Amino acid sequence: HLSTLLAMRVWWPQHRRLLSKSKATFATQANEVFDHKAKIAHRDRITLAYPDGQYDYLKDEVARRLTDRLNDVSPAKKFPNCLDLGALSGHVRKALTDFTAKNKGITKIHQLEMSEKLLRRDFGKNEPDGVDTSYQVWEEGTKLPFEDSTFDVVFSSMSLHWCNDLPAVFKEANRVLKPDGVFLGAMLGGETLQELRSCLALAEQERYGGVAPHLSPFVRDSEIGGLIQAAGFNLPTADSDLLTVRYPDMFTMMEHLRGMGETNATHIRRNYTSMETFIAAASTYQELYTDEEDLLEATFHVIYLIGWKPHSSQQEPDERGSGSTRLSTTLEELAQGPLNPSS
């Protein structure tokens, strides 16, 4: 019934380390959007309810696409020491193929996650050959437990959209990167679940004359580049995918979202929504957003971002006013050239 259109430091045998905890704090925003304890509870719950990870398909796919980008960002460069920030159950580790690990010279990957239960769920599974893997609990709003210039690459896949203070997290990622190290992130963006959002809004507006937030707010493509650059990264780039997943009905889709740990965790979330509202929203969804096979379509907007820790070898823009040719002169020459049909 489902189809997708994307398709501390204690050594453990076979290069594993035991879990440890870190709590060095840094300043966070005074007004938090997301309920940190609720998000940990969601992740703990899916660990117990879905130990086989049957709802990991979206996060596995995004992690695969993210790690593939490492082969493209700098073909000859090696990245021996890696950090996975917000590792969940280790999707980046599991997506790193033996080819990518060998091609990019990866020898270590350190995983940080705020839910200890979820981090331990797939402990030791699908580890790339020859890669030393470690696991550590990290709480959002705390300083990363590493010295400056520790890692060659920092990954973060499908966790950043739950951060209360993205600028602080980006600055911390920049701090622990070595010069000329790269940050590779993937997070849900503003068009995610737009169909569900609109159907719930219509159902509530009709019944209550107002709308409560059922889905978390997401960052927009236009905002992410500026955040990366403000954190001190050079050569920031961002692109996005719109992934469409099909479901037989809205309630099945909501079950999958729950299994992913992607249910609402805002502080202002409504604690109760009537079944009448959900049934009305499901009816509207079925009427407006189905394909030729009568399956519901759900959009997941994934933003991929890349930023480099500054280094003298990187390209730098010329200083403002240093040009030797006026743009108007160049345009006049082009207008008089062979490409001008009137010449």
Cβ(2)–Cβ(120) under 8 Å?
A: no
pTM of the model: 0.82
Write down the pLDDT at residue 322: 67
Q: Is 323 exposed, middle or buried (0-12, 13-18, 19+ CB in 10 A)?
A: exposed
Cβ(4)–Cβ(55) under 8 Å?
A: no
Distance CA 197, CA 284 (A): 11
Exposure letters 117-144 (e unless 16+ CB within 10 A, then b): bbbbbbeeeebbeebbbbbbbbebbbeb
Cα angle 230, 61, 134 (rounded to 5 degrees) comes to: 70
Per-residue pLDDT of the chain (343 residues; tens, 9 = 90+): 333 333 322 223 333 333 444 444 443 445 788 888 999 999 999 999 999 999 999 999 999 999 999 988 888 899 999 999 999 999 999 999 888 899 999 999 999 999 999 999 998 888 888 899 999 999 887 899 999 999 999 999 999 999 999 999 999 999 999 999 999 999 999 899 999 999 999 998 888 777 666 677 788 888 888 899 999 999 999 999 999 999 999 999 999 999 999 988 888 777 778 899 999 999 999 999 999 999 999 999 999 999 999 988 777 666 666 677 777 777 787 777 765 555 4
3-state SS class at 326: coil
- H or E, element range at 198: helix 194-208
Those residues whose C-beta lies under 8 Å from the C-beta of residue 237, and which sit 6 or more positions away, are 225, 305, 306, 307
Distance CA 141, CA 150 (A): 20
- H or E, element range at 155: strand 151-157
Supply 193's token pair. 């679940």
Supply 245's token pair. 């997943």
Distance CA 107, CA 132 (A): 6
Cα angle 22, 27, 30 (rounded to 5 degrees) comes to: 125
